[in-house]
Amino acid sequence: MSNINKQALRERYSPKPVPKCHICGEEMTIQRISASRITYGCTGATYDDIGCHYAEGRSIADDHYEQSRVTVVDVSDPDVLALLDENLQLLREKDAIEAVALALRDDMRQAREQLEAAEKRNAEQREYYEGVIADGSKRIAELENSETQLINERDAAESALADMYQAATGERPEWSNMFGFADAVDVVEERLATLEANQSQTTPTGIQLITEAIGAHGYIVGCLLQGRPDLALEESRKWVSAFGQAAEIVSAQDAAGIKVKGE
């Protein structure tokens, strides 16, 4: 049912207004009712507690009254009007519900967009932190490997220097806070200086052996200073016997009473 039809129904079934007299303009009164037909007339009379009073120049059933009479067709129906009012209320409620539904739809769309954005942001953050954790784990592993390597290199350097020290002195070094790597190197250098000083009193084979031992010592010390204990260990193991033989030569010379050159 369109709004135009409902408006027409409302106008049709609404009570008709009381007509006014076309002669004097006063509101007329009902004179007769027959079904849907209502006859109005302008009597010129007013009523109070005393009784009926006619306007000046008026009387009952005068010409004015006869000329003013009019019949109005009134098919007003309060039930139809009540149904129209109920229908209007339902339409208003329907519009309100639709407005709420539209607002909820917009809110849900906005919430969904915010949720998707949050999920995307969480995924990006999760990917970032997973990368950070992976990089951190990799770095920790590298540091652990580096620490292990440093420990191995330190042990290798200690072993190489101990072998060199033993070859030069015939004894293993006893490491402590009072005797460290630098002290061992000083002892070996001092021993090799003694070997070099005694070269003039040594056989050609002994001289060659001492010279090679001195060269090996310089190479080994250089490897240690350059942070290559692996090469120092390899070289010291190769020349440990040469250091030992050189030390034996010096010990034999000491036992025979041969003096160092220049004394």
Q: How far apart are CA 153 and CA 147, in angstroms?
A: 10
How many Å separate Cα 138 from the centre of its chain? 23
- Residue 118 has a pLDDT of 93
Which sequence spans correspond to the domains of the chain?
Answer: 17-75, 156-256
Q: How far apart are CA 42 and CA 40, in angstroms?
A: 7
- Residue 252 has a pLDDT of 64
**pLDDT < 50 stretches in the chain:** 202, 258-263
The three-state (H, E, C) secondary structure of 191-215, written as one string: HHHHHHHCHHHCCHHHHHHHHHHHH
Q: Are 221 and 185 in contact (CB under 8 A)?
A: yes
Cβ neighbours, 10 Å, residue 68: 22
Burial environment of residue 190 by CB neighbours within 10 A (0 to 12, 13 to 18, 19 or more): exposed
- Residue 261 has a pLDDT of 40
Would you call 14 helix, strand, or coil by DSSP?
A: coil
- Residue 111 has a pLDDT of 93
- Residue 177 has a pLDDT of 86
pTM, two decimal places: 0.37
Beta bridge partners of 45: 54
For 87, residues 6+ apart whose C-beta sits below 8 A from its C-beta are 1, 6
- Residue 123 has a pLDDT of 92
Q: How far apart are CA 224 and CA 158, in angstroms?
A: 10
Task: State the distance between the two ends of the chain, measured CA to CA, in whole angstroms.
Answer: 138
